[in-house]
Amino acid sequence: MLDDFMWRATLAGLFVALAAAPLGCFVVWRRMAYFGDATAHAAILGVALALVFNLSMFAGVLMVALTMASCVTLLSGRGYAMDTLLGVMAHSALAIGLVAVSFISGVRIDLSAYLFGDILAVGKDDLWVIGGGTLMVLTLLGWRWSALLTATLSDELAHASGIQPRREQLVLTLSLAVVVAVALKVVGVLLIAALLIIPAATARPFCRTPEMMALVAAGIAALAVTSGLKAAYLFDTPTGPTIVTLAAGFFLLSTIAMQGVRYLR
């Protein structure tokens, strides 16, 4: 029934929005946008491995996303600029994944569903996985929120407070990998980073505290998901790109509003 798949799509989108928005705040604060993009690009390689070894898609993507994030963390500061390292690893993983998928025989794969998402095809099992991943991310962020904020402000301040910055980086890495794994079905590899960054960037000018920014970003992401689903249904457009387009529209409106406020002052 129409209502069934639309309700599943809406719930899946809201789950991803609730997980991605608070995490996206840390991505914005730490200027990790390219890090998130690199982890998302590696997801296609995870899809290929899941199909080859008959694993669940979530497990394959999570494994590769964690490996990518861990490799970047280990190799950073060893003779390569971070943006160079991320660029090489992101595009290499995406290319290797696409090539690997082409060699899989006997399986018909709709690559566009993985690149741009296929939220309307979310099933009950997918919904449980997405909900579980969202709960994991929110639990991690809630547990380490204060420590993450301190480590984000300054490594020296973190050390003085008895906090290990690399441990907090690991928490963010794990959370980012889980979000990539659960968001693949909703917005796809090429749009995951946008759903992480855009709501947080939209909320930032209007919030005075980190907690408020996380809540406002979650609200903006949820509004983009619900509005995007409705617009995609009405205008017969790709759902994932439509959601991100509306999020980008909210960012544009917030930018115009802030410029207007500054002009009036």
Report the CATH number at residue 177: 1.10.3470.10
Q: Within a domain: residue 223?
A: no
Q: Within a domain: residue 263?
A: no
Helix (H, G, I), strand (E, B) or coil at 164: coil
Domain count, the chain: 1
Task: Tell me the pLDDT tens digit for each residue of 86-114.
Answer: 778 778 888 888 888 777 776 666 777 88
In eight-state DSSP terms, residue 259 is H
- Asked if residue 195 lies in contact with residue 20, where contact means CB atoms within 8 angstroms, the answer is yes
Q: Within a domain: residue 98?
A: yes
Q: Within a domain: residue 220?
A: no
Q: Within a domain: residue 101?
A: yes
Q: Within a domain: residue 72?
A: yes
What's residue 80's pLDDT?
62
- Asked if residue 171 lies in contact with residue 32, where contact means CB atoms within 8 angstroms, the answer is no
What's residue 54's pLDDT?
82
**Which residues span the domain enclosing 30?**
2-189
Q: How many residues does the chain have?
A: 265
Task: Tell me the pLDDT tens digit for each residue of 128-150.
Answer: 999 999 999 999 999 999 999 99
- Asked if residue 24 lies in contact with residue 217, where contact means CB atoms within 8 angstroms, the answer is yes
Q: Within a domain: residue 231?
A: no
Q: Within a domain: residue 221?
A: no
CA distance 140 to 183: 17
Q: Which comes out higher in pLDDT, residue 78 or 173?
A: 173
